Amino acid sequence: MTVVGIGASAGGLKPLQDFFEALPDDTGLAFVVVTHLHPEHESHLPEILQGSTQMNVRQVNGEIHVEPNHVYVISPNRRIMMTDTTLDVDEFDEPRGARMPIDHFFRSVARAHRSMVGIILSGSGTDGSVGIKAIKEEGGLLMVQDPNEAEYDGMPRAAIATGIVDVVLSVRELAGKLVEYIRNPSTVPDDPDALSPQQTETLQRILAHVQTRIGHDFSQYKRATVLRRVQRRMQLTGHETLEAYLNYMRHTPTEANAMFSDILIGVTNFFRDPKAWEALAEKALSAIFENKREGETIRVWTIGCSTGEEAYTAGMLLLEQAARLEKKYELQVFASDLDDPSLVQAREGIYPAAIEADVSLQRLERFFTPYDNHYQVRRELRDIVLFTNHSVLRDPPFSKLDLISCRNLLIYLNRDLHENVMDVFHYALNPGGYLFLGGSESADTAKELFHVVDKGNRIYKAKPWIGEHPHVPALPLRALRSSFPAHSVPPRSFQRRFVAGMPPLEEQHLKALEAFGPPSIWVDEDYLVLNLSESAGRYLLQPGGPITTDLLRLVRPELQIELRSALFQAFEKGRTVVSQPVLVTFNGRPHRVLVSVRPDLYKAGNNKDHPRKALVTFLEDETESPPEERQNAEQNKQGAQDDETVQQLEQKVQDLRDRLQATIEEYNSSDEEMKAANEELQSINEEYRSTTEELETSKEELQSVNEELQTVNNELRNKVDEVSLAHSDLENLMDATKIATLFLDRDLKIQRYTPGMEDLFNIHPTDRGRHIADFTHKLGYHDLVEDSRLVLRKLQTLERESTSPNGGWVLIRLHPYRTLDDRIEGVVISFVDITDVKQAERIRQNYESFYTLFHSNPIPTLLTRLEDNLVMNANQALLDYLGLPREAVLDHTAQEFNLGLDLDSKQRISLTKKLLMDGNIRNFEERIELPNGEVKSVLTSLQYIHIEGRDALLSTFIDITERVFAERQIRRLSIAVTQAEQEERRRLSQVLHDDLQQRIFAVKMQLDNLQQAHTANDQKSIQINFVKLEEWLVEAINITRQLSKDLSPLNLQGEDMTEVILWLDSQMKEQYGLEVEFINEGIHFRFDDNLQIILFQAIRELLFNVVKHAGTLEAKVTIKLEQNGSIRIIVSDEGAGFDPALVLSEDNTAHGLVTIQHQLRLFGCSLALDSNPGNGTRAVIDCPAPASGAQP
């Protein structure tokens, strides 16, 4: 069952719905929808999708078995993964924002080796673009929504940019394509060996077609791999048979390219297989650097670099190594691949954010710069890597390399090709250079070229050159680069190393040497056979036992002694040794054989480490027979002396021959050197070509960059619009809040400020950029600069309060200015007017003081609401005064307490008016009735106040009942005094006028009479008139005497009160004829002078009343000493009597008694009257004990 993974994000809901609506319900596929969900919100995606399909839609919350025709949806804050046949969820490792659930899921499916289709729909970012590589590697199909249709094209474009996407269509077409893909199962078997001969041939024709089109020969690639790719292409293009596909390919020019890319998919990661890279750095790179001097070049070649990850990985390790050694080296990484789109990407060096998973943070920071959700390779790294289109099978290799990294390329190649490639590698590497292969590859087929450094991590080291001169190895596909039609060159077998590529002359020579030269054997200093010439076998005889290459054991026994001696001498002395002729019997016939051993002097001299080698040559006298030999020997003996000349000549010939041989070798050597130089030039030329290609690419890149810049420019213009909108929003916000705000940079220079600032600081728009300390301000705050620095240092917000210029208060808040990427760029200082807050606080404090005062005030005080007179509060003094508990007062209306009884409505209105005008009324007197019925006089003050948001009246009541009473008493007394005085005056005036004046008038008239009598000299009349005159004058004198006596103020100082009363009694009798009976029990006492006078007046007045009103001339005065020492004086009569209430009523002010009564009271005395009309009167005066005491 195939799993379809669908990745979608922003703008992905609609495409998902469309997709499922367009899809039949019985595809047999299992769908897994992976989206970016808000981690904290519940997702309704399953319900929404259920509306678009008949398939069962489920949210994955735990492990779940995958079934066909089901849709599985990711749940919020979880990532989803596939293991074998189940789906499971897991928590994210990454923080929000760095999560790549689509990549994660795709990779997990690829790991599970499931047949899979990956679909990327609308979404921003790059999620999915790494995961699809994993799918592709497993042979899965990749489909992407057309970016032009997608609402957000970030994810589709990122996926397409990988160059590995198979299908790009609109969502509905994708659904159709998917169905087509699934319903077209391949008729071609998976196993290449199961192909019918006809199918095999068709497959070869397909590859031949690709070769024709693209110029790349896949015939040597692994058949199974190639077949799988072809199958996929067939399914995609909807062809059931290889023939149909071939036909399609012939008519569709782009298909060959697609096939080419498909086969060459480069799936790679940074630090893929990190342990191997670690081992490489440790075992290979460090060694490479050690052998280099500072300034020398280190050259590395990564083959099959794809989109460049591996090349950059190698580059990073090199840079790190160089940095560690703190030396400068020329670093050069060649990176080659066949796939141009991949190379373009590699050159860009831009990778999705998902590489965070592969590259450590440290390296990301050092070697990459973040680039819009991506990472871009930094210049330092990019500069050392050179990308080029290059085929290791076709193009001359780079040379003098220190490391070749060729990972996961060999797996695609036939074993036949491996050896060629190894040769190429060996050629390209410096001796001792390293080879780094992929996990499932090895250099075991070329043991003689490489020895193992780290087998597990596939690190090998090149052995030194075998021959004296490096050879350019055969390039297997070299011919394809030629101008000949590709198919006209038959693929050749390249099994023979070092031979195939040789020029024909040399080949002929070698062949001739083989055919006609002496048989020879190439041995090392251990006498082990390294190589045999064709005909050398005749001197060898494999002995019994294990197979051996030991020449001494292999060689025919007859030759063993001579050979051992020759070999020993040759290696020992370093010169050619020729043995004595040895008789050896071949095919029953004896042959004379000479053995020549020639050590490899050239190498031995140059490289002491080099194992020395020698050429063993067998020279055979073929024609001579044993008798001839013998004869010859005899001849030699006989003509020994004659032969001396011949021998000398022969020796000369031999010398010449040797010299010739040396010359020939010299020539050969320089020829080889030239050849090598030529090859090197070719490589260099290749490099130049790469560079040229790159430059061309760069030019195109520049054009596209230009294009991009224009786009970016447009985007920036939009951004600017947005920013200006945001700015105006911000300004409006500032204006609306009326918060003066100042923006300072890190040096406390003014960046910006809001209009309100000008009221606080002497600042103008032109002052931007000036230091804040240069400005005066109107605040009572002088630590602005210090506080700003503090904020910058501690990154804390500070708050200060200060007075403001208008007398209010300002809250100054200093806050670090953080940019969106969390850098501190300065200080933001805002000035908030908190005058109202302060005022409110003061009001609250005022309220508190008010209430403290209110409650502690001893004057009864009441707070009522103005609108309805409801009591808001009352103090304890008021409650005590009213005698009511608090709850009986609060929330009742003031009227209930009868306050202000005696105000009539007119008074009320005028009071209200005054209250409204002045806000208060002071001390108006009114009467109130207490709840217990007592009526009190109070001084009321009303004060209008606004408290707790209400209009209210504060009323105070000062009790003045006693004062009023006292005042009234005083007023009454003063009236009485005035009246008594008037009365006294009237009495005096009457006495003067009615009596004395009349007598004086009479005297005057008498004088007139006397004068007349005198004139008339009437002596008798004179006599009479004189008598009369004298009589009247005496009477008048008496009257004046009495009057002056009456008028003289009483002086009773120190007088005994008993004596005073006695005197008064006599006066009453004398003046009015009143008989007073004085009853005194022998008591004598005296009071304070003033009281004595009042008592005197009181008794006189009481007696006078008897005279005036009682209608009797008899009265009684009694004095008693009481038990407690007080004195009681009783004045009584038996007269007519009267109603005392009438006499003592307060309104009867004319009556002197009232006055006296009050006066007595002031001295602590009392006067009580007991009288009834007709029953006489009894007045009782009680006096406190005299200070001096009373004496009986």
Partner 1 sequence: MKSLLLVEDHPVFAEALMHVLREKDDLEVVKLVDTAEKALQALPDLSIDLAVVDVSLPRMSGIELVAELSRIYPHIPCLMISGHMSGNYVRRSLEAGARGYAIKDSAAGIIEGIRRVLKGEIYVSKEIHSYDSI
Name the residues that contact partner 1, by CB under 8 A.
993-995, 997-999, 1001-1006, 1008-1009, 1012, 1025, 1028, 1032, 1035
What is the C-alpha separation between 620 and 583, in angstroms, rounded?
10
Nearest to 976 by CA among 1162, 1183, 1169: 1162
CB nearer to partner 1: give 1012 or 1175: 1012
Closer to partner 1 at the Cβ: 730 or 1003? 1003
Alpha carbons 532 and 514: distance in angstroms, whole number: 10
Residues 6 or more apart whose Cβ sits within 8 Å of residue 360: none
At closest approach, how far in Å is the CB of 1006 from partner 1?
A: 6
CB nearer partner 1, residue 578 or residue 1039: 1039
Q: Quick one: how far is CA 728 from the chain centroid?
A: 25
Give the nearest distance from C-beta 964 to partner 1 in angstroms. 41
Q: How far is the CB of 1140 from partner 1 (least distance, A)?
A: 29
Q: Is 305 helix (H, G, I), strand (E, B) or coil?
A: coil
- Smallest gap from residue 992 Cβ to partner 1 (A): 9
Of 115 and 1021, which CB lies nearer to partner 1 in the complex structure? Answer: 1021
Q: Tell me the closest approach of the beta carbon of residue 1000 to partner 1, in angstroms.
A: 8
CB of 998 to partner 1, least distance (A): 4
Query: Please, what's the b/e burial string for 1008-1029 (b: 16 or more CB within 10 A of its CB; e: otherwise)?
Result: ebbeebeeeeeeeebeebeeeb
Farthest-apart Cα atoms in the chain, separation: 259
Q: What does the block give as tokens for 542?
A: 């494999």
* φ/ψ (deg, to 5) at 649: -60, -45
Closest-CA residue to 276 (of 436, 403, 432): 436
Q: In this structure, are residues 237 and 245 in contact, taking their beta carbons and an 8 Å threshold?
A: yes
Pick the closer one to partner 1 by CB: 157 or 1028: 1028
- As a three-state string, the secondary structure of 751-808 is EEECCCHHHHECCCHHHCCCEHHHCCECCCCCCHHHHHHHHHHHCCCEEEEEECCCCC
Plot region of 472 (φ>0 → left; ψ -120 to 50 → alpha; else → beta): beta
Phi, psi (deg, nearest 5) at residue 549: -110, 5
The total of other beta-carbon atoms located within 10 Å of residue 654's CB is 11
Q: Which residues contact 281 (CB under 8 A, 6 or more apart)?
A: 317, 320, 321
Shortest Å distance, C-beta 1032 to partner 1? 6
504: left (phi over 0), alpha (psi -120 to 50) or beta: alpha
For residue 989, the minimal CB distance to partner 1 (Å) is 11
Comparing CB distances to partner 1, the nearer of 922 and 986 is 986
Phi, psi (degrees; rounded to nearest 5) at 653:
-55, -45
Closer to partner 1 by Cβ: residue 625 or 997: 997
Select 958 or 1003, whichever has its Cβ closest to partner 1: 1003
What is the smallest separation between the CB atom of 990 and partner 1, expressed in angstroms?
A: 9
Cα 1020 from Cα 587, distance rounded (Å): 247
Instruction: Say which residue the tokens 């769908």 belong to.
Output: 31
Q: Please say which residue, 240 or 1035, places its beta carbon nearer to partner 1.
A: 1035
Rounded to the nearest angstrom, the gap between the alpha carbon of residue 675 and the centroid of all alpha carbons in its chain is 67
How is 120-154 classified by DSSP, letter by letter?
A: E-S-SS-TTTTHHHHHHHTT-EEEEE-TTTSSS-H
**Closest distance of CB 1092 from partner 1, Å:** 36
Work out how close the CB of 1093 gets to partner 1 at its nearest, in angstroms, rounded to a whole number: 33
Q: Which of 163, 156, 158, 157 is nearest to 136 (CA)?
A: 163
- Taking alpha carbons only, the member of 114, 126, 170 closest to residue 36 is 126
Comparing CB distances to partner 1, the nearer of 770 and 1028 is 1028
Smallest gap from Cβ 1009 to partner 1, in A, equals 6
Question: Residue 541 or residue 1016: which is nearer to partner 1 going by CB?
Answer: 1016
With respect to partner 1, which residue has the nearer C-beta, 895 or 1012?
Answer: 1012
C-beta closer to partner 1: residue 510 or 1002: 1002
Using CA atoms, how far apart are residues 239 and 185, in angstroms rounded to an integer? 9
Least distance to partner 1, CB of residue 1085, Å? 43
State which residue, 30 or 996, has the beta carbon closest to partner 1.
996
CA distance 846 to 835: 16
Nearer to partner 1, 276 or 996 (CB): 996
CB burial of residue 853 (10 Å; 0-12, 13-18, 19+): exposed
The CB-of-1162 to partner 1 minimum distance in angstroms stands at 38
The nearest distance, CB 1113 to partner 1, in angstroms, is: 21
658 or 1031: whose CB is closer to partner 1? 1031
355: its two tokens: 């590489």
Question: Which residues are CB-neighbours of 353 under 8 A, at least 6 positions away?
Answer: 98, 100, 125, 126, 373, 374, 375
Which residues are within 8 A (CB) of 508 and not within 5 positions of it... i.e. 6 or more apart? Answer: none
Could you give the CA distance from residue 583 to residue 549 in angstroms, rounded to a whole number?
24
Measured from the CB atom, the residue of 572 and 1008 that comes closer to partner 1 is: 1008
CB of 1002 to partner 1, least distance (A): 4
**Alpha carbons 697 and 99: distance in angstroms, whole number:** 34
CB nearer to partner 1: give 179 or 992. 992
Residues 6+ apart with CB under 8 A from 393: 217, 220, 413, 417, 420, 421, 475, 476, 477
We find the least distance from the C-beta atom of residue 976 to partner 1, in angstroms, to be 27
Least distance between partner 1 and beta carbon 1014 (Å): 13
Q: Tell me phi and psi for residue 448, to 5 degrees.
A: -75, -15
Q: What Rg do the C-alpha atoms of the chain give, in angstroms?
A: 70
